[in-house]
Amino acid sequence: MKISELMDGVRKLDLVLPEFQREYVWTREQAKQLLVSLVRGYPTGSVLFWKTDHPPDIKNNAVPKDKIGTTSVILDGQQRLTTLYLFTQNEIPPYYRAEDIRDDPRGLHFDLDSGEFLYYTRQLMEGNPTWVSVTSCFDGTKIDVFRIAQDKAGPDGDPFALAQRYNDNLTALRNIAVQDYPVQTVPSHATITDAIDVFDRVNSQGTKLSDAELALAHVTGTWPHARREMKGRIEELRKQRFGVDLTFMIRGLTAVVRKRALFETIHGASREELEAGWKQLTRLLDYLVTVLPRWASIHSTEDLNTNNVLVPALVYLAIHGEKFDGERDLKRFIHWMYAASTWARYTSQTDQRLDHDVSVIVRTPNPWKELVDAIIDQRGRIDVKSADLEGRGPLHPLYRMTYVLTKANGAVDWFNGLPLDVPKGSSYAIHSHHVFPQALLYREAGYDPENHLHRQMVNEIANRAFLTGPTNMGLSDTRPSEYLADIESRYPGALQKQFIPLDRALWELERYPDFLAQRRELIAAAFNRQLDSLIEELEPTVELGLDELIRLGEGPTVEFKASVRWDVVNQRVNKDLQKQTTKTIAAMLNSEGGVLLLGVADDGTAFGIESDIETLGRKTLDGFGQLLASLIADSIGPEYAAFVHADYQTYEGRTVCRVHVEASPKPAFHMSAAGSEFFVRVGNTTRSLDPQAAHEYIEMHWQS
């Protein structure tokens, strides 16, 4: 059949594309090479059609179901047919929409002089009439080769020889339309199952389709609306900042329906199984999108190194009533997910490891420890050492996990105080800021941008902080010694929340290597504390000795604060710090209770409450106790005093106030100049819940 006849068939919808076919995925280079091969007479394969009076659902509903007559369904060759239609008709085939053409090749140009194909470049083609667009060679545009030859030959040249060459090349291109193209046909008595089988056989013999695409073809052949449903759901998730693709969706559907991770296991599933599995998958994704931001500080798939870490969760939830069995169960999943993301569980041998992990979930009621052990078997450990961060940049899995850890630690923007875990508009998107600016290190500290090791040091994770765009651009190449102290003064604790060493000597340019070493230690320690906090049993810790509490570090029921109102960095009274103490007490009242150690820094070193006491009118422990009681009464309410008890102990020669907080029998709201807020403990951090989340939390914890 001639190519022009094939194009007529596409235009008249006598040739149609079934819903189970993938979209147009060819690159512009592949499209160009097809024309090169056709002009040179090289073989380019054949097309395969299925003639039927009862076609399956057609992509984008291009053909009504009541269409009378025989239709040829394209089983193989749609990428070539679509490419030829775009070039020869200068239109998108009727079975596609504009958004389906990801990489439109119609910018291709043809040189009448050399017969060469290139995509438009202004420098080469502007003002050169021998370069014409390929689409203009087929759409009836008059191309006057003799006039072009006259322009090129000039008054002293021979335009006739040039015109002949131009015409020969143009004719060779246009003759593509009248070339015969091999066509193979599956007979009309074949069923949809037969057609899918042929499609599978044809595509499995080469590398044209991935396993995921073949699985999607089988699913769509059985359930025609599958692709359409998935694409609609993908768009909804994208608006919630969770970007997934068809490969993830078909993997998720396979996991829910078959309780397996291998794509081919979904072949042969019935329409009833697929539709029921899809409904369950959408519910599970809604649940995860709600849970992950609140409990795991995962606010977007950009926070994940791979979406595959969600597949085991889908299987677990599908088996266990579509929700985690309480807070402890949820935290064990997050503990595993953090470890799997940090140590790139699915970077290689993806299918095999996913299928192994899914099988563990299917056969084990409480699988998360066994799955963590599998990571340890693979990597040797899950804890992070400072050396793991050395020389690591934004492409390493630890980079994204450091951002997640920063958000989980309650970090705020350094110039506007906005919490980093609150979704921002595009103007305030999160940027990765160099604490020691690149330009400064290259210009004044002797680092060479051409030296690979120097570039690694300048760009490593330990020199990164996470800020909103305006803040990042505003800092530019300001010295850390000039801007870090100002940040800590305006937003006390903001530096510690991003694991910045508070030793000002380390902020000097010549101490950059020492800064990196110290910050690596802080990040690694924080990461390990966070992991440990997720698997600690939620049991009272008040019976532990002070030394033991501090050794165990911060967690869901233990918090350290160096002071109540004394600004450690700026060496002055800062009453804004008082809110940090009362917020933590309110969060513990609303959670499982806990212990707040006042006079202990985040790293467990003793600071003591002596500096706080010196700021009081009554410079005694009684005066400090009165301050604490007054803060609780004013910020939370005097009725909660019965659930908060304080005593004093000596640690490393300093006085530490140990505040015991019981779980409250009713919700405790925190009052401040910002209004009424509701705080809870999430991991080792204190988090504010918005009104809707607070309402849901209160219903869950204080049911009437």
Do residues 174 and 136 lie in contact, with contact meaning Cβ atoms separated by under 8 Å? no
pLDDT at position 207 over 70: no
Residue 536, domain member (yes or no): no
Q: With 80 as the cut, is the pLDDT of residue 571 above it?
A: yes
Q: Is residue 364 part of a domain?
A: yes
Could you tell me which of 133, 171, 123, 165 has the C-alpha nearest to residue 148?
165
The answer to whether 14 and 71 have CB atoms below 8 angstroms apart is: yes
Distance CA(182)–CA(276), nearest Å, equals 42
Number of domains in the chain: 5
Task: Say whether both 359 and 502 belong to one domain.
Answer: no
What is the pLDDT confidence band of residue 660, given thresholds at 50, 70 and 90? Answer: very high
- In tens, the pLDDT along 447-473 reads 999 999 999 999 999 999 988 765 545
191 lies in some domain:
no
90 contacts: CB under 8 Å, gap ≥ 6 = 106, 135, 138, 139
Mean pLDDT for all residues in the chain: 87
Residue 235 · residue 248 · CB < 8 Å: no
- Residue ranges making up the domain that contains 514: 387-526
Q: What percent of the chain has pLDDT over 90?
A: 54
Same domain, yes or no, for 646 and 586? Answer: yes
Q: Retrieve residue 209's tokens.
A: 């389709």
Q: How confident is the model at residue 539 (pLDDT cuts 50, 70, 90)?
A: very low
Weakest mean pLDDT among 217-231, 467-481, 649-663: 467-481
Residue 197 lies in a domain: no
User: CATH code at 685?
Assistant: 3.30.950.30
Burial of 672 (0-12, 13-18, 19+ CB in 10 A): middle
Q: Is 346 strand, coil or helix?
A: coil
**What's residue 433's pLDDT?**
86
Same domain, 660 and 584: yes
* Predicted pLDDT of residue 204: 55
Residue 554 near residue 560, CB atoms below 8 Å: yes
Do 362 and 245 lie in one domain? The reply is yes
Confidence label for 202 from pLDDT (cuts 50, 70 and 90): low
Q: List, for residues 542-554, the tens digit of each pLDDT value.
A: 456 788 788 777 7
Give the integer Cα–Cα distance in Å for 563 and 548: 20
Structural domain contains residue 599: yes
Cα-based angle 453, 455, 457 (whole degrees, multiple of 5): 70
Binning pLDDT at 50, 70 and 90, where does residue 517 land?
Answer: very high
Which of 176, 199, 233 finishes a domain?
176
SS (H, E, C) 454-504: HHHHHHCHHHEEEEEHHHHHHHCCCCHHHHHHHHHHHCCCCCHHHCCCCCH
Same domain (yes/no): 558, 514:
no
pLDDT at residue number 538: 43
- The 10s digit of each residue's pLDDT in 362-415 is 988 889 999 999 898 878 899 999 999 999 998 899 999 999 999 988 888 887
Verify that 678 and 601 share a domain, yes or no: yes
Which of these three, 176, 199, 219, is where a domain ends?
Answer: 176
Nearest to 530 by CA among 605, 602, 587: 602
Same domain? 154 vs 237: no
Q: Looking at the domain assignment, is residue 203 inside a domain? A: no
Decide if 166 contacts 130 (C-beta within 8 A).
yes
d(CA 338, CA 329): 15
Give the C-alpha separation, 291 to 111, whole Å: 58
Predicted confidence at residue 8, as pLDDT, reads: 93
- Shared-domain flag, residues 263 and 331: yes
Q: How far is CA 481 from CA 86, 432, 433, 488, in A?
A: 59, 19, 15, 12
Please give the Cα distance from 600 to 655 (Å, whole number).
9
Task: Identify whether the C-beta of residue 110 lies closer than 8 Å to the C-beta of residue 173.
Answer: yes
Is 403 part of any domain? yes
DSSP state letters, 75-123: EE-HHHHHHHHHHHHSS--TTS-GGG-SS--TTEEEETTT--EEE--HH
Round to whole Å and give the CA distance between 635 and 155.
Answer: 93
* 453 shares its domain with 573: no
Domain endpoint, select from 498, 526, 554: 526
List, edge to edge, every strand of the sheet that includes 117-119: 117-119, 108-111, 131-133
In-domain check, residue 199: no
Residues 232 and 322 in one domain: yes
With beta carbons less than 8 A apart as the criterion, state whether 468 and 431 touch: yes
358 and 458 in a common domain: no
Are 623 and 639 in a shared domain?
Answer: yes
- How many residues comprise the chain? 704
* Distance in Å from the first CA to the final CA of the chain: 76
Q: In the numeric block, which tokens belong to residue 110?
A: 């043809």
